[in-house]
Structure 1
Amino acid sequence: MKRFFGFIGMAILGGALTLGGYKMLFNEQIVIEKTVQQPMQTVTASYNPALNKVNTVASSIDFTMAAENTVHAVVHVKNTAIRTQSNPWAELFYGNGSGKRKYEQVGTGSGVIISADGYVITNNHVIDNATNIEITLNNQKKYVAELIGTDPTNDIALLKIDADFDLPYIPFANSDSVKIGEWVLAVGNPYNLTSTVTAGIVSAKGRDLEGNRNIESFIQTDAAVNPGNSGGALVNTRGELVGINTAISSKTGSFIGYSFAVPSNIAKKIIDDILEFGKVQQAILGISVDATYQEEGVKIASVVEETENGKKLGLQSGDIIKRINNVKISKFSELKGQLTAKRPGEFVDITVDRDGETLVKKVKLSKSVERYISSVFQWELKDLSEKELKRKGINNGVKIVRTGKDAEETNLKNYIITKVNNNVVKGANEAVKLLDNLVANRARITVEMINLEGEVERYIYR
């Protein structure tokens, strides 16, 4: 037994000695490597923090509130005009008057209710020459509309309907505050599809359409606008009116990318003028513009002395207009838009570049002087005052103040027109329309005039 425990003791001692020797001879740390897969991180190339902001804003935009607030205030406008069609062959074979027949011509468009008592704004071309105007609300109720006034130059018309309840309407926004890239909605009735809403952004401001007779200042948008949308609303995301949809740029007659709206500031000023004065009060600076200037701004060619303020404007030939109040002016259409939205007598701060120096001039806007010019005869006519009529000893007449032949000795400048084809002439506007209409109808024209010696002369034009 003793011997057994002796063997056990020797074995334990031997193992201890062996382990101690191994540690002394091979004292190296053994490292076990273990590979752990980490999740792959995504790195955005060309990272732009502004892009994240745009995406966040875009995803948060909700058009439903703006659509809900405006769709019931945009109406369908139907105009009916009585036209006369002539058949020259029937006139020839069956006698005078037998070749004419009357027929109804129907046109449609949109309109915007701008007050609870029923004032509606639309385009002039939507209701032009209409004998009857019918308004259909979004709830399908129909009303006969009264034409209050029009402004063909800016293509705006004001209508009025009488309802037995307060109508939903769209408030005006400040169109000068609209920014390029801002979201907008076009609300209207394209192709007689009532209550249609499309979305887009403001693509440009102060846009003038080539080929138009008038210089205009449209808001350009890519919101879809089609035939029937004319006169409808262009609104911001708060449901406020920023423009009246008026035109599209198209070779097919349908929307192909861009549409144009009269800015709300211009539309509101026109409506206010019609309600207060019965016609539009056009404000002017009293300057002529250098059309050859191609850089940013509007260059003054001369200051017109005949205007209300004349040389008192503080502006000079060669000045380059850069801003009106706080609105940047890059081209003439933008200047025209700012003036159209203002009234004669208002003061504006005009920032000009004069030989490299920036100056700010406070200018009182003048009233536009109406000119009546016959495009056919090239006569500019002017109404005679009561004093002038009395001095001439006549009861009616208009003076020729300028002709296309002023340089010739035989020109008719300062002659007084009293009759056209035995029609008594009482006003310059009436005389111009009469002369041009007679020429358009190829009629023989007899003009009775009083010459510079006070003698009556008659001129026959064929």
Structure 2
Amino acid sequence: MPMDVMNEPMISDTGVRAAPHRARVRSRRFAVAGALSIALALSGNQVFAQERQVPAAQADVMLSYAPLVKETAPAVVNVYAERMVQRRMSPLFSDPFFGRFFGEQMPGRSERQTSLGSGVIVTGDGMVITNNHVIAGADDVRVALADGREFPCTVLLKDDRYDLAVLKIEADEEFPTVPIGNSDDVEVGDISLAIGNPFAVGQTVTSGIISGRARNAVNDGEFGFFLQTDAAINPGNSGGALLNMKGELIGINTAIFSSGGGSNGVGFAIPANMVKVFLKAAEDGETRFQRPYVGATFGPVTSDIAEALGLKAARGAIISATRPGSPAEKAGLETGSVIIAVNDIPVEHPDALLYRLTVAGIGNTADLTVERDGQVSHVALPLDLAPEDPPRDTRVIAGSSPFSGLTVENVSPRVAEELRLSGIDDGVVVSDIEQGSTAQRIGFARGDVIVAVNDAPIDTTATLEDVAGEKPGYWRLSINRGGRMINQIFR
């Protein structure tokens, strides 16, 4: 079934239905069980049950979420992202005759588009968490509060790999907030509420339960650790809040699996612990979100691998390679070893490992539980940024060569991490391209690694800049694009 990433809020109602009383015996059974009533306290102080219990009496089922919603809904906002887009124009419409008929609606003209999503205010001074895909490419971002007021916003930090963005409301006042909870405390079967603006109908609340944890392969991004809920989520809910019964944020609603674009009760949210790390990076003034550098490649543990290695279950992340001099190699991690837990929290798959290392935080040390040859050991892995060795030495290429308009950098582990260069350890990479430049017209793309020019290896940005200043009779380029070599000649 196809997966839809929500560009608008998501919501619907999941009713709780009490079974009818069939006999007096059953009524007496309910009456006795009534003494065990749930403490889903939805009062002002939000007292939360110390132990999870199943509804045992009619009175339990008739409890209301209204007090919890009143407390949290004011901090869930609508996010409006406007962008200018260029409509394609057929050569036919360049004829003035057709222009008289189509006027301002002629294809090929610029027009402003608005997308709608949701967001959650998490700090009193107006920091908002939403999805990156809600504001991607936007020229102007605004939020509308539940009371109808609108404010402009500044995008502080965004990352398409994790599909998160942090906005700052441009206003000097105190805003309502939702506290961020601990998503590791969430269990399958817990009640959850989703708040957002589905289909632009207005703020909506839906209820359900947590259906699964550690879900991966949900979207096309690199992040693969989601909470799953059956609370109805629909287009427009993206960036909205997934709450527990304490009124805490446990996830940011992000995507649904759907055959027709509507909710089928399979929704996904980015866990709150990931949100905390991302928010801290924004508060610290970071302009790019960076995860810890391990210097190893991991693969899933299939049933065949588990059987071959004598593992009890096909779970964990198996090390397939380590980079020389990397933290993984220095810590003693070896190819063929399986990481089964991080800080005593089980690891289900490689995506879960990456998630656990990311939320552990740069500057800390992760305790890895490693299984190899039937023996279980613990390895301390320092969590640091990828090294920038060699220095990136950023240069903008000018002149009249095919490279005119390129911004290039030397490849280092950090640059490779930022630009997602898999299996590339050195060389010169394109990090940006000037609009309308020669390089753009030729077809260069961000992430292209320039390997050679006229059969001469390009090892540094300084080398490329020197070569670009020459005037040969032709240019023979060798470029690595996503692992595929492209050879092209220009005259």
Instruction: State the TM-score, normalized to the length of structure 2.
Output: 0.68
Structure 1 residues 369, 100: CA separation in 2 closer, same or farther (over 3 Å shift)? farther
Query: In 2, distance between residues paired with 1:461 and 1:439?
Result: 15
Q: Does 1:348 align with 2:366?
A: yes
Question: Secondary structure of 1:104's partner?
Answer: strand
Q: Does 1:198 align with 2:200?
A: no
Question: Secondary structure of 2:354's partner?
Answer: helix
Q: Alpha-carbon deviation of 1:299?
A: 1.7
Q: Alpha-carbon deviation of 1:84?
A: 1.2
1:297 equivalent in structure 2 = 316
Query: In 2, distance between residues paired with 1:214 and 1:436?
Result: 27
Identity %: 29
Please say if residues 117 and 237 of structure 2, whose CA atoms lie closer than 8 Å, have aligned partners that are also in contact.
yes
Q: Does 1:74 align with 2:76?
A: yes
Query: In 1, distance between residues paired with 2:392 and 2:78?
Result: 44
Q: Alpha-carbon deviation of 1:443?
A: 4.0
2:295 equivalent in structure 1 = 286
Query: Of residues 318, 322, 340 in structure 1, which corresponds to 2:340?
Result: 322
What amino acid does structure 2 have at the position aligned with 1:88?
A: S
What amino acid does structure 2 have at the position aligned with 1:197?
A: V
Please say if residues 404 and 437 of structure 2, whose CA atoms lie closer than 8 Å, have aligned partners that are also in contact.
no
The equivalences for 1:285-434 within 5 A come to 285-291=294-300, 293-294=302-303, 295-307=314-326, 309-368=327-386, 384-385=392-393, 420-423=402-405, 425-427=407-409, 431-434=430-433
**Residues 251-308 of structure 1: CA distance to partner in whole angstroms, max 9, x if unpaired?**
111111110001111112112113322211211333222346341222222332242x
Query: In 2, distance between residues paired with 1:290 and 1:437?
Result: 41
Structure 1 residues 397, 93: CA separation in 2 closer, same or farther (over 3 Å shift)? closer
Query: Of residues 155, 162, 177 in structure 2, which corresponds to 1:169?
Result: 177
The answer to which structure, 1 or 2, has the higher relative contact order (CA under 8 A, 6+ apart) is 2
Query: In 2, distance between residues paired with 1:109 and 1:440?
Result: 35
Q: Alpha-carbon deviation of 1:133?
A: 1.3
Structure 1 residues 115, 441: CA separation in 2 closer, same or farther (over 3 Å shift)? same
Question: Secondary structure of 2:262's partner?
Answer: coil
Query: Of residues 242, 250, 255 in structure 2, which corresponds to 1:247?
Result: 255
Query: In 2, distance between residues paired with 1:370 and 1:218?
Result: 31
Query: In 2, distance between residues paired with 1:162 and 1:220?
Result: 33
What amino acid does structure 2 have at the position aligned with 1:303?
A: T
Unmatched tracts of structure 1, length 5 or more: 1-38, 372-381, 387-394, 399-416
Structure 1 residues 282, 222: CA separation in 2 closer, same or farther (over 3 Å shift)? same
Instruction: State the TM-score, normalized to the length of structure 1.
Output: 0.72
Query: In 2, distance between residues paired with 1:432 and 1:211?
Result: 25
1:140 equivalent in structure 2 = 148
Higher Cα Rg, which structure:
1
Q: Which moved more, 1:284-293 or 1:245-254?
A: 284-293
Structure 1 residues 418, 319: CA separation in 2 closer, same or farther (over 3 Å shift)? farther
Q: Does 1:125 align with 2:133?
A: yes
Q: Does 1:209 align with 2:217?
A: yes
- RMSD between aligned residues: 3.9
Please say if residues 406 and 439 of structure 2, whose CA atoms lie closer than 8 Å, have aligned partners that are also in contact.
no
Query: In 2, distance between residues paired with 1:99 and 1:247?
Result: 32
Query: In 1, distance between residues paired with 2:265 and 2:209?
Result: 11
2:54 equivalent in structure 1 = 54
Q: Which moved more, 1:215-224 or 1:266-275?
A: 266-275
What amino acid does structure 2 have at the position aligned with 1:104?
A: R
Please say if residues 80 and 104 of structure 1, whose CA atoms lie closer than 8 Å, have aligned partners that are also in contact.
yes
Please say if residues 293 and 299 of structure 1, whose CA atoms lie closer than 8 Å, have aligned partners that are also in contact.
no
Question: Secondary structure of 1:367's partner?
Answer: coil
Please say if residues 290 and 298 of structure 1, whose CA atoms lie closer than 8 Å, have aligned partners that are also in contact.
yes
Q: Alpha-carbon deviation of 1:444?
A: 6.5
1:159 equivalent in structure 2 = 167
What amino acid does structure 2 have at the position aligned with 1:327?
A: I
Query: Of residues 154, 157, 174 in structure 2, which corresponds to 1:149?
Result: 157
Structure 1 residues 364, 418: CA separation in 2 closer, same or farther (over 3 Å shift)? farther
